[in-house]
């Protein structure tokens, strides 16, 4: 059954675990399982260097794990893979395809679009069917050290103008996570400070902590469905 935009967007809050690069599927599954145990609410499968067959096998195993744990699996960049798997969603970056095509091919799936620090891109993405937009790099990023930085204020502005949930991306750690949430982030997309931590579950709990309070007004007022 196809879900509505409002139903999909209700799930878009909390720690958004973005997978690290590894050729070992057993290691990947263990890391993601620990992240979910610690509180990750969404998982994005991101694999830039693997061959197509390896990527497909990893994604299939990861989807099975996420379905078992009741957490959505979103595929990064690869629309064909997301469609083939029947994944819970697709995330598109710059040059990764038209959000309208992704929405047409995955009508009930979560659709996310990277908008960097450009609020006009966020508005356009929402108009094209995106369920959430990614804003960043909000802090210096070890994964993308050359990424253009985005002011924290852009998180709130994108949320107000695009009227969809916002994922803060880039350089997020337990020490600065609360700043991003207070600025307007509905989700925190994290790779390094989560999966490079000696205790992934503990890192996930620390990164999830800002979502345990409703002190910020934006938590109580969800974006309106388009």
Tokens linked to 24: 């070992």
| Residues catalogued as catalytic | 46, 114, 144
Please name the residues in contact with 195: beta carbons below 8 A apart, sequence gap of 6 or more: 17, 19, 20, 31, 35
Residue 103 to residue 28: CA distance in whole angstroms: 28
Q: What does each C-alpha distance from 185 to 49, 54, 82, 133, 166 come to in angstroms?
A: 29, 33, 25, 10, 5
User: Are the C-beta atoms of residues 74 and 91 closer than 8 Å to each other?
Assistant: yes
């Amino acid at each position: 059954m196809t879900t509505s935009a409002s139903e999909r967007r209700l799930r878009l809050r909390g720690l958004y675990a973005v997978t690290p690069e590894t050729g070992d599927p057993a290691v990947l599954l263990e890391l993601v399982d620990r992240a979910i145990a610690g509180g990750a609410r969404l998982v994005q499968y991101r694999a830039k260097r693997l061959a197509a067959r390896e990527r497909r096998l990893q994604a299939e195993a990861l989807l099975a794990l996420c379905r078992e744990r009741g957490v959505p699996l979103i595929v990064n960049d690869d629309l064909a893979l997301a469609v083939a798997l029947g994944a819970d969603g697709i995330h598109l970056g710059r040059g990764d395809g038209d959000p309208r095509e992704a929405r047409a091919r995955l009508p009930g799936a979560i659709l996310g679009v990277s908008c960097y620090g450009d609020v006009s891109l966020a508005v356009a993405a929402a108009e094209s069917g995106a369920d959430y937009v990614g804003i960043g790099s909000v802090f210096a990023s070890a994964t993308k050290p050359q990424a253009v930085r985005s002011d924290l204020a852009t998180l709130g502005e994108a949320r107000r103008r695009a009227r969809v949930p916002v994922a803060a991306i880039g350089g997020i750690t337990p020490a600065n996570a609360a700043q991003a949430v207070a600025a307007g982030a509905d989700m925190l997309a994290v790779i390094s400070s989560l999966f490079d931590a000696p205790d992934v579950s503990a890192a996930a709990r620390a990164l999830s902590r800002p979502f345990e309070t409703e002190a910020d007004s934006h938590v109580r007022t969800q974006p309106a469905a388009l």
